[in-house]
A and B are shown apart, each in its own frame.
Chain A
Amino acid sequence: IAGITQAPTSQILAAGRRMTLRCTQDMRHNAMYWYRQDLGLGLRLIHYSNTAGTTGKGEVPDGYSVSRANTDDFPLTLASAVPSQTSVYFCASKDSPSTDTQYFGPGTRLTVL
């Protein structure tokens, strides 16, 4: 089935632990994005990648890192989770940086205690 998958669906994590959220797309899209969604704040961009091998910082990058070793995968890592990183995380992709429509994954609900 074409699209974007994210794992895990949800996670409860102790503060200070390391966590990697996984994102995989099978549409061969070049550009990928990580957002966090918080009540009253909408979606905010964390990191992005315009093509495999490159990444960039979004609006709220602190405490997060990403890698883009290949076209399909774009993992997001929290090196040492803090409670303020409790959020719903969405991965998205689009065909290229210059095309318009983004396609979103189903999200990962993360709770940091």
Chain B
Amino acid sequence: SQQGEEDPQALSIQEGENATMNCSYKTSINNLQWYRQNSGRGLVHLILIRSNEREKHSGRLRVTLDTSKKSSSLLITASRAADTASYFCATDSKGGSEKLVFGKGMKLTVNP
């Protein structure tokens, strides 16, 4: 069963605009991670936020976590054409077996 669900499933924006992706999950978590996948490639880890954190930054990435709503958002500021990729959230459940459960992913297209 899927833990994380990204929303929207697809987003198309212009270069320079901000892109926001949302992830909802169902059970209590230790942490939530965001991964990126370029077409035809493996996933690459972007950023991790722990359950006791509310916001985290890494370069042009900003992640928020609301454990009361069981949701997270990934904001990419000043997007570039090279940000075009699929983005996945993944959760590591509390009391679980330390395995990640991935969402279905969201396709971001940044038009030059």
Contact = CB atoms under 8 A, between A and B. Distances in A.
Given A59-B1, A100-B48, A101-B33, A45 B42 contact: no
Given A42-B104, A43-B88, A59-B1, A103 B98 contact: no
A44 B33 CA distance: 16
A90 B102 CA distance: 13
Interface stretch (A14-22, A78-86, A104-112): A104-112
Interface in B12-70: 31, 33, 40-45, 48
A100 B99 CA distance: 9
Interface residues of B, number: 22
B42 A104 contact: yes
Interface in A30-65: 33, 35, 40-45, 48, 50, 56, 58-59
Contacts of A44: 102
Contact residue range for chain A?
20 to 34
B43 A90 contact: yes
A102 interface: yes
Contact of B42 (A59, A90, A98, A101): A90
Interface of B: 1-2, 31, 33, 40-45, 48, 88, 92, 97-105
13 contacts: A4-B42, A35-B102, A43-B43, A43-B88, A43-B102, A50-B98, A56-B97, A59-B101, A97-B97, A97-B98, A100-B92, A101-B33, A104-B43
The 10 closest A-B pairs by CB, nearest first: A104-B42, A42-B104, A43-B102, A104-B43, A97-B98, A101-B45, A42-B102, A106-B42, A42-B105, A100-B48
